[in-house]
Structure 1
Amino acid sequence: MRTAILVMLSLLAGFAVNRAAAEDTITTVETDTAFADVMTDLQDAIINRGYVIDYHSHIGEMLSRTAGDVGADKQVYKNAEFLQFCSAVLSRAAMEADIGNIAYCPYILFAYEPAAYPGKVTVGFRRLPPGDGRDQVNETLNEILHDAAGQ
């Protein structure tokens, strides 16, 4: 019995650590700024640094469009989009530090407005693991995030 309890406690602790680790990998900021303005500010914050946006995804529209096809009846987002870009300078520095850092390029920033909370916009990015040339990427993504969120 004691062994079973210890196993259960270990499993629960493992789940808690995994959840905390997952939460640490996403950096977000909430704002009351209109979604369209946040996306414009996000685009400007990327472009004004000299980066080229490679792809603009309209995830919210895709989920709405395909809801019937997958048997969904819940609207997740009022709006949801992401922008991806790569930086020759940041990427080169990161990849020279560790060639495996190719896995993190391109970089993605996202914004969404939940259907359940219209007017509350979340802007964020997936944080790269620290070290080996990735810290500067995280700093740049964080600067872009705060520029777009007006903070």
Structure 2
Amino acid sequence: MKRLVMAGALTLFSTSAFAENHAITYPFEGDFGDATFAVESAIVGRGLVVDWVSHTGDMLNRTADAVGSDVKLFDGADIFQFCSAQLSRKVMEADPMNIAFCPYGIFVVDQQGEVIIGYKTFPEGPMQEVQALLDDIVKEALQ
């Protein structure tokens, strides 16, 4: 029983640590529309193509009743998905299973007027080059 409690506590603490470190975020001075425009412009300005924009906030608001919730998580939440052929090839030649991280995404969220831009973190090794690209794009969007 003691082992079970210890294993549960370890899992809880591991999950909490993971939850705190799974994304890099930056506050955006401006509204949601300005932030989404800035992110898309920064991606396209690098010669990359936005493959898809996931309107996650709209989906969560639209489906809240269907899943039995009355919580509004975001006033706006979009995820811009894209790839870099050159960088993707490089990281997948290092490890073909890096395909699991493609496409790359940058999110913009608005929670009660607080707009945040961010991206999920990647493991050490070749994927850090992708993380650096995402960070550069986000920092450009913040200017």
Paired positions, count = 143
Equivalent residue, structure 2, for 1:149: 142
What is the SS of the residue equivalent to 2:135? helix
TM-score normalized with structure 1 length? 0.85
Task: Render the CA deviation track for 1:87-136: whole Å, top value 9, x for unaligned.
Answer: 1011010001001111111001101111xxx22111111111110x2111
Task: Render the CA deviation track for 1:47-83: whole Å, top value 9, x for unaligned.
Answer: 0111000001111111222222222212111111110
Return the alpha-carbon distance in structure 2 between the equivalents of residues 65 and 102 of structure 1: 31
Shift of 1:146: 1.6
Q: Are the counterparts in 2 of residues 33 and 149 from structure 1 also a CA contact under 8 Å?
A: no
RMSD value over aligned CA atoms?
1.7
Structure 1 residue 127 and structure 2 residue 98: aligned?
A: no
Shift of 1:31: 2.3
Structure 1 residue 69 and structure 2 residue 69: aligned?
A: no
TM-score normalized with structure 2 length? 0.90
Return the alpha-carbon distance in structure 2 between the equivalents of residues 33 and 110 of structure 1: 15
Runs (4+) of structure 1 exceeding 3 A deviation are 6-11
Which of 38, 57, 81 in structure 2 is aligned with 1:60?
57
Q: Are the counterparts in 2 of residues 32 and 119 from structure 1 also a CA contact under 8 Å?
A: no
What percent of counterpart residues are identical? 36
Unpaired segments ≥5 residues, structure 1: none
Equivalent residue, structure 2, for 1:32: 29
Unpaired segments ≥5 residues, structure 2: none
Letter in 2 for 1:103: A
